Structure 1
C-alpha cells in the first residue's frame, strides 16, 4: 500500500476550506439589510443609504437557460484565441483588467469584513459622509460612506498592484487567492437567483456544460491551464505551503454557481424566520437554517467527491458533475422531509419579497404589541405560516 501523500491531502483540505468559506461569507452577504433599526422603545432610526439593499435584478428561469449557451460561446472564443494567437497578450489584458476591477472588489469585501468584525451597532457610530452631484435640483450621483471605508481604500490597491506588476512566480498564490476570494464574495452577494426552480435549471444546464467541455473536448482544460488570471483559487501541494510541487486549483465558477444556490437557501431560511417573527406572540425566535446547512454540507460532500475522483483517476474532473446533483438533491430531500416541497418550489425571492423582509412594523405601535400582533400572513390569515420555525420560539423571562 502506498504511503499517504499528506502534502497533497493538505492541499485538498486548504482548497476545500477556502471554497466553503467563500460560500458561507457570500451567502450571508446576500441577505437583505434592514433599512430601519428599531429601538427598544419602538422608535425608528433611519439608516444611511449605504445600509440599504441594492435593488438588484434576480436571475429568472428564462435567463438561466442561456447560461450554458453564453458560457460555451465565451469558452470557445477564449480557446480559439489561445490556440491561434497565443497566451501572452490575452494574459496581459486579463491581468490588468482584473487588477483594476480587483481594487473595487477588495475594497467592498474589506469594508464588509470590517463591519462584520465591529458589529452593526458600533459601525453606525462612525462619522458618516455624503457626496451628491445635482443638476437642476436632481441628484445625478449620490454616494454614502463612513470613516473606515475611506481608510480601507489605500489597502485595497496593494494586492492588485502587486499582481499586475508581478511576472511568473512573483504573482504569488496568496495574492491570486485574495483577489479570487473577493471576486467570489461579491459575486455571491450581488448575483441572485429568484427561485429554487431557476437554481435547478441553472445547475442542470451547467452540469451538461461542464461534462461536455471537460470530457468531450480538450477546450476546458486547455483554457484553464493556459490563462493566468485571478479567477481561481490555488493551494500549494505542500504542508509547508511551498510551491515547488505545484498547486491544486478550483475555478471561481465552481464556487459561485453552486454558491448562488446555497445563498438562495439561506435567504429562504431568512424568509421563514421573518415570517415566524411577524406571526409570533413570542419575543425571541431562533434563526434556524436547515436549507442553508443542508446545501453547505452538500457542497462540501460534492467537492470532496470531485477531489477523490481526480486523485483516483489522475485527471481533471468537471466539478459541477458532482456539485450540481448534490446541491439540488440537498434542497429536494430537505424540503421533502419537512413537508414543504411544493411551498418551497413555488417561493420566489423577488425584490418585492425582499422589501417585506427588511420592513419593520409601524413605529407608532407599542413595541410589545407589535410582537404580539404581527402582520397578516401572505395568505391573508393570521398565524404562523412556518410551524417548523415556530417550534424554536424562546420566551424571554
Structure 2
C-alpha cells in the first residue's frame, strides 16, 4: 500500500474552490433526489402496467365465463323444448287412450244389450216350446177322448196316430236340445267377451295413472328449468356489470399511463441537464488553479492523484485479488462445511471461553464466525478510507 502525501505545501486554492464544491454537493443531492423520484415513478409505472395486465386478464376470464353461461343457457333452452315436445306427445297419447276407453265402454254396453236380447230370445223360445207342448198335450187329450169315444171304431187309426205323434215327438226333441245347447254356448261366449273387456278396461286405467304421473314429473322438470334459466340470466347480468367496471378501471389506467410516461420523460431530461451541469462544475474545479503555485500545486496535485491513483490502483487490485480470494474462500468454506461441522465441539469450547451460551451456540456460532470476517473486511475498508482521508486532508491543508 503506497504512502500518501503527509507534507503540507505552502499554498492551496481550497477557499477559492469552496463555492464550487458546495454547488457540486448541492447538485449531487439534487441528482440523488431526482434519481429517487425517477425510481418511484418507474415503480409506479410498473405497478400500473401490472394492474393493466391484471385487468385485461380479468376481462378475458369474465368473457370466457359469459360465453360458458350463454352456452349453458342454450342447452337448457334446448332441453326445455325437448320436454315440451315430450309433454305434447304424452297428452296426445292420453287423449287416444281416453277415446279407446270410451269406445270399449260403448262396446261393453252393446254386448250387454246383446246378451240381454239373447236371454229374452231364449226365454221366448222356451215359452213357445212350452205353449207348443201344452197345445200338443191338449190336442193329445182331445184325441185321447176322441179315441176313447171312438175306441172301437178307430182303433187302427188311433194306433197309427199315436205312432205318428210319438215319431214327431222323437224327431222334435233332439232339435230342441240342440237349440238349447247352442244358446248356452252363445251365452258363455258373451260372458267371456265381457270378462276380456273388463280386463282391458283395468289395463287402460293403469295406463291412465302412469300417464298422469309422467305428466306431473314433466311439470316439475319444467319448473326446475325455469328456475335455472332465471339464475343464469342473473349471473349474466352480474358478469356484464363486472365487465363494465373493469372496462372503466382499464380506461382510467390507460389515461394515467401517458401522463406518467410524460412525467418520466421530463424527469429524465432534467436528470440529463443536471448531469451536464455537474460535468461543467467538475471541469471548472479541475481548471481552477492559482498561477504562481501552479507547478508546485500541479506536482502535489499530481502527486495527490498519483498517490490516490496509486491508492486506488492498489485498492482496486486489492479488492480485485481478494474478490477472487473471497470467492474461492466461499467455496472453500462451502466445501469444508462438514469439516467445520465436525469440529463443532472445538468451536463450542472455543466460544465457551468467550462466554457464549451453550443453547445459543447453534445459532451464534456461524453468525459470529461470519460476522467476524465481515468486521475484518470492514475494518480494512475503514483503514484504507482513513488513509485516503488523511491524504485528502494533507493535500488541502
- Structure of higher RCO (CA pairs closer than 8 Å, 6+ residues apart): 2
- Larger Rg belongs to: 2
Q: Name the structure with the higher helix share.
A: 2
